[in-house]
């Protein structure tokens, strides 16, 4: 918690102690406790989930592609790789939906910055759409 005084603000979150105030300009007189606007915790969580799910799903799909290319007959319907990849993609979709919910909650909060909730909401929505397309196309392929 810091103090700010009327006029110029030399740094957010720092305590400013002027030697004497100017009545005409108001510089040097404390206007009370100044709380800087903080980032939303829900927004940060939403953004973090989106980044982790994107990295995890990229790694998962790359691994499935490598296994499909290196196996002699390709990946069959009964392959354990298909089951594991499918389950983890559904888990990623669930986490992405949780990230969307956290992003919306972060946007609803008052007196918080909106950058991380918006980023988390956009990225999680894009990830959810891509995962649904990948899962549906995978199901239709078999």
- Distance, CA of 58 to CA of 28 (rounded, Å): 54
Q: Which residues pair with 8 in a beta bridge?
A: none
Q: Pairing state of beta strands 30-34 and 2-5?
A: antiparallel
Q: What would the pLDDT profile of 24-77 be if each residue is shown by its tens digit? A: 555 555 555 566 788 889 999 999 999 999 999 999 989 888 887 887 676 666
- Output the pLDDT for position 103: 94
Q: Which residue has the higher pLDDT, 34 or 78?
A: 78
| Rounded Cα distance, 131 and 108, in Å | 26
Average pLDDT over residues 92-111: 94
Q: How far is CA 136 from the centre of its chain?
A: 25
Look at residue 102 and tell me whether its pLDDT is greater than 90.
yes
The CA distance from 44 to 115, in Å, is 9
pLDDT at 111 over 70: yes
Does pTM surpass 0.95? no
Specify the length of the chain in residues: 142
Of 19 and 73, the structure prediction assigns the larger pLDDT to 73
CA atoms of 17 and 24, how far apart (whole Å): 18
Q: What is the CA radius of gyration of the chain?
A: 25
Confidence at 124, pLDDT banded by 50, 70, 90: very high
Cβ-in-10-Å burial (0-12, 13-18, 19+) of 142 comes to exposed
Question: Which carries the bigger pLDDT value, residue 142 or residue 30?
Answer: 142
């Amino acid at each position: 918690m810091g103090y700010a005084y009327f006029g110029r603000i030399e740094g957010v979150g720092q305590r400013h102690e002027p030697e004497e105030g100017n009545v005409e300009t108001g510089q040097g007189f404390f206007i009370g406790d100044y709380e800087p606007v903080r980032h939303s915790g829900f927004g940060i969580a939403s953004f973090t989930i989106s980044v982790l799910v994107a990295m995890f799903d990229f790694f998962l799909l790359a691994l499935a592609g490598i296994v499909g290319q290196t196996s002699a007959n390709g990946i069959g319907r009964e392959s354990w790789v298909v089951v594991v990849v499918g389950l983890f993609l559904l888990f990623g979709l669930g986490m992405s939906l949780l990230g969307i919910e956290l992003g919306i909650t972060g946007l609803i909060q008052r007196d918080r910055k909106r950058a991380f909730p918006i980023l988390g909401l956009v990225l999680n929505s894009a990830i959810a759409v891509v995962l649904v397309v990948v899962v549906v196309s995978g199901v239709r392929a078999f």
